[in-house]
């Protein structure tokens, strides 16, 4: 089905509601700024209570019909949505808007959109395949089973780094489970998220809404009695606030709170492969990936050789506007770049050495750019090893052996992902067993699979996205006991046999 984006106008604040773009009820709006050029991309509304209530009412109305729709019909519509995403000639325009809003290099934006359809297909069929469980009965004449039911209306609070893909991860699962969805995009990527909404025109009106806004908009959605589950991706501080608000209302939530992922380079690592893989895992999207490798633990025996090859490959990366030829785009904001610069500066002041980068490009464009940076001589007590940097910085700590690397990798409040390069099977299996993280990558970091859970440990979050567990996050189990041979049971009240009581009581 061809998609017509003619009614979407970045310069006019809009919401997506009832299958169409509409004027917001709120009068306040903000500007979306291109972090590479500092020019205005467009305007988006800061939705307030009236907008939230309007969307919640529409979503609940649509969900009452959607939950009654059989799973085969739901799946057919989700496959039609996937077809629209895959075959729309306007997908390149959405990719360009992602680049302009948050600085992502154009090939990466195209790649993000290219992998969105598969998650809708996966969950469409997963929901058809798994509707519950029949248990072995504990009573003759009784049919005992568990079935799944949707929660109702789910809220999806999104990050800026993968604004479309991460939307699809949780929205696909929620829709497949029978819910309606309300999306609150990141402020930095509100326009591209709104633009993507029109792909959902194949679904019943009201089943999906998009309300741009700020933290107060998100809180209004969470606090509403008309929403019933929350999916959040963002900082630890924001995740805590979301978690507290959900707990106060007994509202289930999935929280992905980022991390400071370790990368271990064993003495058995294939050095050229490891160096190339680390360039990608550290500097993809300028290090603004939740699972970016930030803390490197390199075994002493191969430390110098690895650093040399890692630096050689890193120096080949081009810094610039994502709409031109460049692998390293800008940070999303001035505040984000300031944090990266602070962490690097403090590490150097404490004895770390800059191998490459470590500065704002001296002759670069006007945006929020920072050169891809490698630091050596880093120690575990430095702030750059304790905080989430979320920028193009690889902080390398020299360690005596693989055992020390594992121990230091686990010495963190975060536990999202962890990566290892080794050709030693025993080391690989040991790492998979002992690393305290939701995901472990061995010799191929940052790979996702629709059928496997994406989750965090420690302060990196609660719950799962993707996989069967990702579907379960948006539905509740219900036990059903059906006695198809109705009869009076001897344990029902009033009791007819005093033998149930001790002899002295019965007498």
Q: Cite the active site residues.
A: 256, 290
Q: What local confidence, expressed as pLDDT, does residue 495 receive?
A: 77
What is the structure's pLDDT at 1?
A: 38
Alpha carbons 446 and 294: distance in angstroms, whole number: 13
Residue 418 has phi, psi (to 5 degrees) of -155, 145
pLDDT of residue 6: 56
Q: Which residues contact 352 (CB under 8 A, 6 or more apart)?
A: 375, 376, 377, 378, 382, 384, 395
pLDDT of residue 498: 72
Inter-residue contact 374 to 320 (CB < 8 Å): no
Whole-angstrom distance, CA of residue 174 vs CA of residue 157:
13
**Which two tokens mark 37?**
């050029």
Closest CA to 245 of 158, 122, 155, 165: 155
322 Cβ contact list (under 8 Å, min separation 6): 36, 99, 103, 104, 105, 106, 108, 109, 329, 330
Q: 357-401, pLDDT tens digit by residue?
A: 999 999 877 999 999 999 999 999 999 999 999 999 999 999 999
Taking alpha carbons only, the member of 439, 402, 443 closest to residue 420 is 443
Nearest-10 Cα torsion for 160, 274, 419, 354? -60
pLDDT score at 310: 98
- To the question of pTM greater than 0.75 for the whole model, the response is yes
User: What is the phi/psi pair of residue 355, to 5°?
Assistant: -85, -40
What pLDDT was estimated at residue 277? 98
Within the chain, how many helices (H) and strands (E) appear? 17, 24
- Residue 505's pLDDT is what? 62
- Domains of the chain as residue ranges with CATH: 15-257+460-480 (3.40.605.10), 261-450 (3.40.309.10)
Regions of the chain with pLDDT less than 50: 1-4
pLDDT computed for residue 496 by the predictor = 72
């Amino acid at each position: 089905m061809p998609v017509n984006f003619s009614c979407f106008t970045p310069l006019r604040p809009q919401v997506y509601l009832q299958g169409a773009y509409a004027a917001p009820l709120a009068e306040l709006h903000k500007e979306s700024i291109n972090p590479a050029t500092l020019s205005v991309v467009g305007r988006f509304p800061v939705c307030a209570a009236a907008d939230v209530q309007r969307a919640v009412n529409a979503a609940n109305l649509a969900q009452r019909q959607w939950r009654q729709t059989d799973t085969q019909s739901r799946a057919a519509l989700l496959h039609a949505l996937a077809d629209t995403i895959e075959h729309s000639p306007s997908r390149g325009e959405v990719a360009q808007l992602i680049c302009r809003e948050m600085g992502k290099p154009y090939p990466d934006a195209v790649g993000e959109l290219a992998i969105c359809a598969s998650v809708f297909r996966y969950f469409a069929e997963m929901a058809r395949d798994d509707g519950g469980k029949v248990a072995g009965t504990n009573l003759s004449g009784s049919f005992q089973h568990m079935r799944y039911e949707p929660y109702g209306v789910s809220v999806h609070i999104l990050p800026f780094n993968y604004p479309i893909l991460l939307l699809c991860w949780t929205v696909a699962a929620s829709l497949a489970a029978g819910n309606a969805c309300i999306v609150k995009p990141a402020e930095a990527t509100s326009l591209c998220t709104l633009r993507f909404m029109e792909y959902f025109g194949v679904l019943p009106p009201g089943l999906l809404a998009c309300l741009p806004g700020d933290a107060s908009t998100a809180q209004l959605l969470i606090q509403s009695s008309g929403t019933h589950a929350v999916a959040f991706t963002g900082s630890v501080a924001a995740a805590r606030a979301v978690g507290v608000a959900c707990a106060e209302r007994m509202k289930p939530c999935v929280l992905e709170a980022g991390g400071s992922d370790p990368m271990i380079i064993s003495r058995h690592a294939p050095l050229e492969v490891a160096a190339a893989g680390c360039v990608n895992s550290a500097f993809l999207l300028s290090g603004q990936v939740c699972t970016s490798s930030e803390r490197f633990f390199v075994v002493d025996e191969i430390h110098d050789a690895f650093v040399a090859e890692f630096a050689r490959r890193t120096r080949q990366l081009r810094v610039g506007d994502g709409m031109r030829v460049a692998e390293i785009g800008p940070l999303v904001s001035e505040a984000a770049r300031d944090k990266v610069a602070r962490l690097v500066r403090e590490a150097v002041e404490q004895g770390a050495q800059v191998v490459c980068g470590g500065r704002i490009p001296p002759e670069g464009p006007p945006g929020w750019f920072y050169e891809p940076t490698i630091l050596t001589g880093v120690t575990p007590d430095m702030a750059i090893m304790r905080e989430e940097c979320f920028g193009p910085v690889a902080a390398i700590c020299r360690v005596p052996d693989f055992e020390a690397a594992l121990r230091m990798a686990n010495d963190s409040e975060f536990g999202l992902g962890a990566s290892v390069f080794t050709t030693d099977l025993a080391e690989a299996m040991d790492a998979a067993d002992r690393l305290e993280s939701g995901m472990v990558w061995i010799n191929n970091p940052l790979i996702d699979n629709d059928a496997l859970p994406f989750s965090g440990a420690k302060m990196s979050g609660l719950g799962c996205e993707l996989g069967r567990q990702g579907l379960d996050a948006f539905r509740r189990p219900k036990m059903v006991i059906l006695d198809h041979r109705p009869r009076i049971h001897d344990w029902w009240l009033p009791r007819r046999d005093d033998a149930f009581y001790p002899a002295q009581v019965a007498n």
